[in-house]
Chains A and B, each alone.
Chain A
Amino acid sequence: MHLKQDKPDNRNVLDTTAQGVIGAPLTRPEGLLKVTGTATYAAEYEVEGCLEGVLVSVPIMSGEVLSIDEDSVLAMPGVVAVISDERLTGRAAQGTAGEAPFQPAQTVCYWGQPVALVVAETFEQARDAAKHLVIETRAQDVPVDPEKVDTKVEETTRTGDLAHAMAEAAHSVDVEFTTEGHASAAMEPHAAIAQWQDDSLTVHASLQMLKFNRAELADSLGLKEEQVRLVSPYVGGGFGSKLGISQEAVAASLAAMHLGRPVRVVMSRQQVFQTIMRRSETHQRVRLAADNEGRLTGFGHEARVSNLPGESFAEPVLQSSQFLYAGENRLLQLEIARIHRMTAGSVRAPGEAVGVQTVEQAMDMLAEKAGIDPVELRLRNIPEKHPANGKPFSSRKLAEALREGAKAFGWEPRPRKPRHTREGEWWIGTGVASAARVHAVVEAKARVTLRPDGTAVVETDMTDIGTGTYAILGQVAGEMLGLMPDDIDVRLGDTDFPAGSGSGGSWGAASCGSAVFLACEGLRKKLAERLKVADDGLTLKDGFVRWDGGEKALTELLDGKPLDATGHFEPGDSTEDMAISSYGAFFAEVAVNHWTGETRVRRMTGAFGIGRVLNARTARSQCLGGMTWCIGNALTETLLFDPNDGHLVNCDLAEYHVPVNRDVPDLDVLLLEERDGSASPIQAKGVGELGLCGGAGAIANAIYDACGARVFAYPMAPNRVLAAMPQN
């Protein structure tokens, strides 16, 4: 079945089927393997005769490799080769690039860029030799501070006259913010095992989007795509950092091709931090103009981000600012500075993860000025149609999320005044923020096979990066085919399977779920044809097929032979005609220490509308993860770059502070059921990123409510909170 979705699908088929497993909070089928350490991750395959490679980086920000002295290490114990092939890539590919990232690696663009691979019999030998490899470089002086280089305007939206609206406004806010760079900090380091045999390459890798990754790897190596197979059934977290192929996969492949032996390359934790995609730091200005009732008349959001020269990606900070709130006079402008830090790319929720929280802080300031409850202020400013392009909104649970979230949290609807509650040394406060994230779907294929014994197999090269893909695809198929998910074998992460969408941009569930849905529709059609009834007259449940006037066991109908169908989903005009996004709201309560400025989040509620919920448990987990990111984003996470040579100084998990268990209190998640036929044929939107789009702003607002400190620089570390805290 092929569908290019040009029209909304409001049939809500999954609500009419009988199995009753869609949306159920089922556990992940692969969960047990993961928690018992028996799910095999990329680096863990036992491959006979496998050599070990270690990437060698150079400590310059910009320049050239003049020479690599192989002889400096070739005589060391166990060393087999030094790979310095021109096809080595110095950077990772951007998500969905589908082509080789920047080559050759010998042109150095950031501190710590890998330029060669040392291959040895053991990992220890390779690691030692990598430190001994003599590399001659010529460094080039480049600016280190992104605030001190010229910028280029990437994108501007201008309507009306914002300056005039600001001047005329009854209440206005004009504030600047900074956010620091973030790392994805996935638990599993980037790793690949490459095997080259009979002119074809098999790579066990840790990647998010195999269809694109295969094209990127083939292009990097000068191979045809058909010569490359990627295998990636389990991915230990990606968060954007594994969207495109990175240096280790190319290096391992080249080594395997040169040496004719399997080669494993695993990045060290430091290399992951130093060479993999970062989220750009940002400098933002938010302007809000409002009338007496707090209705926005002007909305301005400007942001400055950075990336390496030549990279097309610019952190899309303004993405949701385009449509979240009303205001007829608008100015949105994104500028990019070129700076020699490792590639900036997609880190979970690119754009909104740092762009919504600042607007939400400004909204809080506006509410205070206008003397309006911050929840009410937001409700008053929900636009009727997309403010820039006039498109109608599809589903939008923003108002419900604010209302339901407020109720669940116990929000007191009143104008806010800070420093109202103190418990011993701690100031207690609460804050709210809206959540928004643009919706996307991409082309995806999946094959579903009914086996003669009445069980089924789902196959797609889609990945499960910890999100629950195995679970939800089994549920979509189970619902459509009248089977329990236990009877469905979901096989993922292999380019030998039909090409899925990959995991990224929160589009995996809606895109691949739709491909599986379409495949199952195909199967239902085939079954109906066999029975000579209309396919919408079939009821499939518990392995039985019923129709008006009859019932048959599926096995009987299959008659000893398998039956398969492929689903092929393509986005079409339905996503063009509507403004489609996911929405939600965050409520946070924090305690701020009067003496030290330490901030601890005490509880947090998130209410989210994500279209159809495919699995209430895994969807909730995604929201929990997102909200946990909000805490890190708000309070601790920051990439620190040396002001002299531009190297990343905090490049491990001891010094790059993601939240630990004790930082994460009870998080309460409300999923607001909705159906969005424009978003996808299964009426689902995305859930992977929404949970971190704005929540740091709720924490910032709670800090202010608690102790009166407005902090405009993220993360709000104790020193920043203390410096902003009124001292009386």
Chain B
Amino acid sequence: MDLSYTQEQQEFRKEVREFLAENLPSRISEKVRLGKRLVKSDTQEWSAMLNARGWLAANWPKQYGGAEWDAVQRQIFEEETCLAHAPRLVPFGLTMLAPVLLAFGTEEQRQRFLPRILSGADWWCQGYSEPGAGSDLAALKTTAVPDGDHYVVNGQKTWTTLGQHANWIFCLVRTSADVKKQSGISFLLIDMETPGVTVRPIVLIDGQAEVNEVFFDNVRVPVENLVGEQDKGWTYAKYLLTHERTSIAGVGFSDAALATLKHVAAHTMAGGSPLDRNPHFAARMAQVEIDLMAMRTTNLRVVSAAAKGQAPGAESSMLKIKGTILRQELTSLLRRAAGPDAMPYLPEFLEGGDNTDPFGPEHAPSAAPTYFNMRKLSIFGGANEIQRTIIAKAILEL
């Protein structure tokens, strides 16, 4: 074993760092640093910059405009971009749909959709969950009935993240009713501008409408928008979920949150001394850091072990559980660090208005909303309970 980075990897890190220093607009990174809310154009602007450099699609093959990085490069890139407070890339097209199209789509579909993901022409969202189908995803009821060279889609999706920005949605739909429930599902790409699609926002606990309900009322979808074979969608859906889970580990996000936490704790006075001198708080911070040091290696071990360009199997569930616990613990500590200043709810500040916040230090207004928002990490991408069941079955064979 050798834990040191190769010369090449060190140079890559330097290159990424320089790129960030030169390109990432501080107007955007300041928002990320302070936990403010990003608008659509922030994400688009940053994605376009990465695309111009050829760095937007880390895990795609070069032939489709990807960077084709290995696990270590991806981790380096994630660490550096997170520490520089770059916005999170919207994963739905880049790391969810694209791997599915690459593995199961037609060449025509790849040529049609992949360039538009890179260019930002399309913003994708994920239409898996329904009111009655969460953990039990295969219970989904949205139907797609063939009608000539179209499918007619009826039903409802929910919890659709950033659906308000999206113009395309990939959906799991039921195409056969009288079979085992996993067997009658298809993977369909739907243009959200088609008549009959309605998007309704859902306000969450942090006051933000980041998710939506999406309704389909006799929506006509051309058959060429079917991915793979009809009724085989469950296989593709699960393939996508393993990809989703690895990025959920979020080691880079934890690194950045830890750095912020340490800075805040060093500059917050509690009982006459800095908070990072408070033995209880310091112990909590140290505990998270120790876990995170190991987590970084766990992540690399698991991701490196997987075949090139492929996602790991049940081990990705482990990354998801441990990674999300750490990220949530960090938001909890940041909330505590803010003390009474965590109490005011200042939407104008969070929306990035230029009012100077009179209620305390700059990191305080987002502390509680972020803590609440990050409860989602252990719910989506397959709830942590479901991940434990996967590990119990697939790894422990219980």
Partners in one complex: no
